[in-house]
Amino acid sequence: MRKFVTIPVLVLMLIVASACQTIGTANDATSAQRFLPNIVGYTATDADSLVDAITTAGAGAALTSGNIPAIAAIQRADAMIQCLQETGSIAGKVYTQDQWTDIVPEAGVSIVVNRTRVNQNVIACLSSTGGGLTTQSVRVEPCARTGDFTVNGEDFTYIYVGVGNNICGLFQLHFNNVQANNAQ
């Protein structure tokens, strides 16, 4: 009887242990980071911390006002994002125009998601972490788009949002080239 109980318990422990191991790195051939655009004339900054993004966006009051539940939720989400980035499951960059050519500087965000890796790593990462704007005569119209592609049997989703005449076209050109170079 004791052997009868021990074997299922050992199998269950093996399953739980294997679920806690992540798959992939941010530097391998099918990591999401590999498919982010490099656009000439723009500075690209890694979007790798939710805390930094919240603080940069000016919404850091929750972090400094002692709002314990908000701080805990933000830190937990940040740890999850860090884990998914380290496994090459997701990657994101913020792009800003080097030299302004218009009244409003061009800027945008591009995010790539390797859905295959997210599915493989989400449990392990969870367990390890615990209309346009108008100003005077200038009209700023944001642009956004999502799409999908597959490379070596791994599925990716890309998302971008931008402001300016060229940034979204440059993002789309990059992802069109990725799709063309990896047509299956």
Q: What is the CA radius of gyration of the chain?
A: 21
97 within 8 A of 41, measured Cβ to Cβ: yes
pLDDT at 104: 76
- Percent of the chain past pLDDT 90, that is, above it, reads 20
Render pLDDT for 83-114 as a digit per residue (tens, 0 to 9).
888 999 999 888 888 888 777 778 888 889 99
pTM of the model: 0.65
Place of tokens 């790798």: 48
pLDDT at 156: 93
Q: Mean pLDDT over all residues of the chain?
A: 74
Render pLDDT for 51-82 as a digit per residue (tens, 0 to 9).
555 555 444 555 556 666 666 666 666 777 78
Of residues 21 and 32, which shows the higher confidence score?
A: 32
* Contacts of 133 by beta carbon, 8 Å cutoff, 6+ apart: 139, 140
Lowest mean pLDDT among 16-20, 117-121, 139-143: 16-20
Separate counts of helices (H) and strands (E) for the chain: 6, 7
Distance (Å, rounded) from C-alpha 91 to C-alpha 49? 11
Question: Following DSSP, what letter does each residue of 172-184 receive, concatenated?
Answer: HHHHHHHHHHT--
